[in-house]
Amino acid sequence: MMENSSRTERPRLEPEIIPPARGRRESDWQYDVWQPYGSTTGEMHRVYVARLGPIGLAALMFLIGIVVAVLVLAVVGAILIWIPILALLVAAGIIFRFWRR
């Protein structure tokens, strides 16, 4: 039993290596894994990223402020809607409690 535990176990199955599909016609249901999503011609595209200046930064902060304000108003509005509903439920509970006596 000691002799068997010192040897490493060989894999029972060899991994299958599938080469990439080059130059063969693909069926409708087969897709190449590395096919680009945007361009099917294989062209290279450049992406230009500009630095934000003071006006662009101010506009970005203004837009972020508007989004935060809308979210806060939505949360406050949801809370303000539930306050009268909870008050009605508490009042109904009190009325039914005195009514059952």
Q: For residues 84 and 82, give the distance between their C-alpha atoms in angstroms, rounded to a whole number.
A: 6
Q: For residues 96 and 101, give the distance between their C-alpha atoms in angstroms, rounded to a whole number.
A: 9
Residue 44 is assigned to a structural domain of this protein: no
Q: What is the pLDDT of residue 22?
A: 58
Q: What is the pLDDT of residue 28?
A: 46
Residue 22 is assigned to a structural domain of this protein: no
Residue 66 is assigned to a structural domain of this protein: yes
Residue-range definition of the domain harbouring residue 101:
52-101
**pLDDT for 6 beyond 80:** no
User: 3-state DSSP call for residue 73?
Assistant: helix
**pLDDT for 36 beyond 60:** no
Residue 11 is assigned to a structural domain of this protein: no
Q: What is the pLDDT of residue 18?
A: 74
Max Cα distance, the chain (Å): 87
Q: What is the pTM of this model?
A: 0.43
In the chain, the number of structural domains is 1
Residue 24 is assigned to a structural domain of this protein: no
